[in-house]
Amino acid sequence: MVSELRLNARLFWAKLRPITWQALPADPNTPLLARGASGSVVTALQKGLKKYSTPATDPGAVDGDFGPKTEDAVKAYQQDPGVQADGIVGDQTWWAPAGAAGATLASLSGLTTV
């Protein structure tokens, strides 16, 4: 019974998540990052991916450069919360649940917006 409830909940959220994300407005204060970006926000992203701590989401060296290894780590991370795995870090990637209660990639990275 419990496993059936879990399966039904996963199916429900798998269908609801895309509809919910499309309905939400973009946060103008959330950074948009992609390959070629650099700086302190990329460093924070790389640290957050390391905290997520799966081998596939390891971006390699925390150097502030959004290169191919960071892009691959982002794509791997995006597959977990069911975000489009395009390697671009925008609202959906920053704020999608990251497994732990209340955690997001933004919170793992120390990103705050006002």
pLDDT, tens digit (0-9, with 9 covering 90-100), for 9-46:
555 555 555 555 455 556 667 899 999 999 999 999 99
CA distance 57 to 70: 8
How far is Cα of residue 3 from the mean position of the Cα atoms in its chain? Answer: 26
Lowest mean pLDDT among 2-6, 22-26, 49-53, 98-102: 2-6
CA distance 12 to 39: 38
The pTM score is 0.76
Structural contact between residues 79 and 66, judged by C-beta atoms closer than 8 angstroms: no
Burial (CB < 10 A; 0-12, 13-18, 19+), residue 26, is exposed
Give me the pLDDT at residue 81, please.
79
